[in-house]
Amino acid sequence: MSQAINLTIVGSIGIDTIETPTEKREEILGGSVSYACAAASFFTQSGMVGVVGTDFPQTFRDRWTKMNINLDGLQTQEGKTFRWSGVYEANMDNRTTLSTDLNVFEEFSPNLPETYRDAPYLFLGNIHPALQLHVLEQVHTPRFVLIDTMDLWINIAKEELTQVIGKCDMLTLNESEAQLFTGEHSLMQAAKALIKLGPDYVLIKKGGNGSMLYSRDDLFLLHAYPLDTFADPTGAGDSFAGGLMGALAASGKTDAEAIRQAMVYGSVVASFGVEEFSLDRLQRLDRDQIDQRLNQFRAICRI
């Protein structure tokens, strides 16, 4: 009998073509749920909810299985899998999207298996807010819900996004998205405006500059783990959030201190993920390596 699902993760699954200043990789595994589930797998039993086409390679499914990710919530539809291609600039921060083909993802309707609906932790990855609301209607009584979003939904579905934010415990988004949503340049002012929508926590991702966790009575700033070089930043935010939720689920807690500790784990796992393309580095990672880097990270951040 498989382990009970402790964390349900809903999001996109894609086949990516990525070009950086030093390398180009074609037809590699991507998507928010891929990175998030992989990162969470080091801490807890997660269940994946997403959709792929009939062209989706079996080798990609095998990678998830080897990482002990439950695939009962994975849907397969006739047609092609979502595809994305992009090019990163020299700073490895800015990127240009060359093509986006939604394919079967355009008609995706996340339907949770019964075994997923009782999971105490839920991560709603970056999908249309209407779909995120649809997931919330299916779950029973989750202890902690994290929602991610992006500028597209802020621009075209802000009313629905505002509704779903009010039903979640934590909102995560990057700094430009926080500024776009609120019209505030100051991240503190943006966080204060977002917290009024209903979540207990607002987590603002700042890329290589770390992250900021804001609540009504607390503020926590976390550095990013320093790397000399890295191969591909795609999925770093999803790996961070997935690692955070996996570690939080493993702790069985939802208080501010547990969230801080989970953020540190998420940052460490994400730092491994960007060292190689796709899930290549995460697939070869183990918990001992994570804990070793975690101790190094704590030593670097000491005051």
Per-residue pLDDT, averaged over 217-224, amounts to: 93
Distance of alpha carbon 101 from alpha carbon 95, whole angstroms: 17
Q: Is the pLDDT of residue 81 over 60?
A: yes
Domain ranges of the chain: 7-300
Distance of alpha carbon 86 from alpha carbon 218, whole angstroms: 37
Query: Residue 221 is encoded by which pair of tokens?
Result: 């700033």
| pLDDT tens string 19-56 | 999 999 999 999 999 999 999 999 999 999 999 999 99
CATH superfamily of 7-300: Ribokinase (3.40.1190.20)
Strand pairing of 211-215 and 218-222?
antiparallel
Q: Model's pTM, two decimal places? A: 0.95
Strands (E), the chain: 7-10, 14-19, 24-30, 46-53, 70-77, 83-88, 95-101, 121-124, 144-148, 170-174, 201-205, 211-215, 218-222
